[in-house]
Amino acid sequence: MYPRLVPVADCGLLVEFGDHIDPVINAQVATFDRDLMARGFPGFTESVPSWSAVLVGFDPLITDHEQVRALAETIIATMKPGAAKRARHEVLACYDDDLAPDLAIMAQKTGRTPDEVIAAHLSGTYVVGMMGFAPGYAYLDGLPEPIRLPRKTAPVRGVPKGSIMLAGSQCIVSTVTMPSGWWVIGRSPTRILRPENHPPVLFDMGDEIIFKRIDRKTFDAMSTEAAS
Amino acid sequence: MSRAVFLIERAGPMTTIQDRGRFGAQRYGINEAGPMDRAAYRTALAALGYEPGPALIETSLGGLALRCIQGDITVALAGGGFRLTIDGETKGSWCVATIRAGQRLEIKPGPWGSWTCLAVAGDIVAKPWMGSVATHAPTGFGAGVLKTNDEVIIDNAQVLEAREGLLPFPVTGKPRDHVRVVLGPQQQFFAPETIDAFLNTNFTLSGEYDRMGVKLTGAKIAIEGALDMPSQALPRGSVQIPGHGDPLILLSDHQTTGGYPKIAVTIGADQDGFCQLRPRQNVRFSAITPDAAITAARSRAKAETAYLDRLRRRTNA
């Protein structure tokens, strides 16, 4: 049944590799996206990858559904998931109490100490499974099993940017201050959204992320630097 | 270099600076933003002789009042049936007029339409964010939301007397209460009779309408089975069905991804007209094939190009 190709209005083709969140499906998405971005085609506007699908955007004045479908089929036939080496990025994390409003409750709910929650978070190697929702929001998949929790029942307002937030098997380092129902266990001074650069986000689809613990002094120094 | 300065005396809550939009970055969670009625944006600029690209001011039913506190400048209004006045004198709805130092310009909602664009003969000074000044209202990225007492500075301000007057009104500028869609891409979440109901219901635009989108009421659209879809790309114009069953139409400031199924996506050719409906007005949808959607995009673009070319060449002499 998969991959499944579905036309979207007058300007897109949705290429679905599955119907659930799964590392194998997600790696196919990342590979298709990478090949598409490298190849391009006349009228190509953008590739929007997500957990299990890629939206191939096109300009209907230049190309059409039939041509884009043929190109997508060619990419699918030749792509080699897992062959390309993944870029790896280090994200800095400070877990001090005032930056980690949900650390104690997470520890309680998972039956661990706060230090064990931190150690578990630091032990993960995460993959950028999707970006979306808000500018630079990268959904990092790979949170170790023992500290997985469903999200809160209601979102909390004004979660500051830089918050390291957890839910299910995922982790996000937020880039804008927004409401969120995820568990906040620390804060990062690493600039992920950097609009003056190209690309504007530190990570790309499929990249690997690891976290490195920093102390409060380093966090404060870097935060001051970033703000100036 | 001549400069004009506008002091905003009163701005409705959805008054923003927009350019064409910020394209190609949805993969990073960064959406296009840009004008709600994109043809109105192009029309207002063409009325002053410009190609699409420059920044202008978009406002909505809250309207806008500003005073020109420095310089003289020609402006153009297009989109919706709004009314432009200068020092109380009515200039028209889709029109070009000149405002001089000390004069007050006002845009008020008229009998129809939800969004209008005010272009200026000059360059609005605004700091781009990722190469575009288009304002994404929820985050404030871009040039930003305009508020009372803000100043808008315009460099290279010009007076274009030969362009003043009313603009010819294109039929495509009207609101569209019949919007064409391509069904899917998540048709599997809806029973055939649910899709029939979606296509046979006269929906009403609710008051929950902003630059992100609008909620419709009229029929609850039921989702089949468990709502277990992973988040995926959510293009502009999507008809998303959240758990409450009232369709949401995603517009300029839409989120780039979403985890609710899309029963259909509206075609680009009908999105501008849809945006010009007002809360409490009705809309119905009809399904066309993906290939017919492309044909519609091309025929609409052809007609619009001819109209804009005429506007750019137009003088009142």
CA dihedral (A202, A203, A208, A210) in degrees, to 10, reads 30
pLDDT at A153: 85
Beta-carbon contacts of B85 under 8 Å, excluding residues fewer than 6 positions away, are: B91, B105, B106, B108
Mean of pLDDT over chain A: 95
CATH architecture of A4-78: 2-Layer Sandwich (3.30)
Instruction: Mark yes or no for CB contact A133/B231 under 8 Å.
Output: yes
Per residue in B131-167, pLDDT (tens digit) is 999 999 988 899 999 999 999 999 999 999 999 999 9
Q: Which residues of A are less than 8 Å from B293 in CB distance?
A: 9-10, 60
Does the pLDDT of residue B11 top 70, yes or no?
A: yes
Is A150's Cβ below 8 Å from some Cβ in B? no
Q: What is the mean pLDDT of residues B202-225?
A: 96
Is A52's Cβ below 8 Å from some Cβ in B? yes
ipTM: 0.95
Q: Are strands B248-250 and B238-240 parallel, antiparallel or unpaired?
A: antiparallel
3-state helix, strand, coil in chain B (%, to 5): 20, 35, 45
The distance from CA A28 to its chain's CA centroid, rounded to whole angstroms, is: 15
pLDDT band at A85 (very low <50, low <70, confident <90, very high): confident
Residue of A nearest to B33 (CA): A135
- Interface list for A 107-146 with B (CB within 8 A): 130-139
Output phi, psi for B66, to 5 deg.
-145, 155
pLDDT band at A228 (very low <50, low <70, confident <90, very high): low
Mean of pLDDT over chain B: 96
pLDDT band at B91 (very low <50, low <70, confident <90, very high): very high
Domain at A88-227, CATH from 1.10.10.10, 3.20.20.70, 2.40.100.10, 2.70.150.10 = 2.40.100.10
pLDDT at A106: 96
Q: What is the mean pLDDT of residues B98-113?
A: 98
In order of A41, A119, A177, A183, B137, the CA distances from A173 in angstroms are 33, 17, 11, 11, 22
Instruction: Mark yes or no for CB contact B23/A137 under 8 Å.
Output: no
Cβ–Cβ < 8 Å for A140, A126: yes
Is A2's Cβ below 8 Å from some Cβ in B? no
Q: What is the CA radius of gyration of chain B?
A: 20
- Can you give the pTM of this predicted structure? 0.95
Beta-carbon contacts of B47 under 8 Å, excluding residues fewer than 6 positions away, are: B76, B78, B94, B96, B119, B163, B167, B311, B314
Express as a percent the part of chain A with pLDDT over 70: 99
Domains of chain B, with CATH numbers?
3-169 (no CATH), 178-299 (2.40.100.10)
Q: Could you state, in order of their start, the residue ranges of all structural domains in chain A?
A: 4-78, 88-227
Q: What is the mean pLDDT of residues B164-178?
A: 95
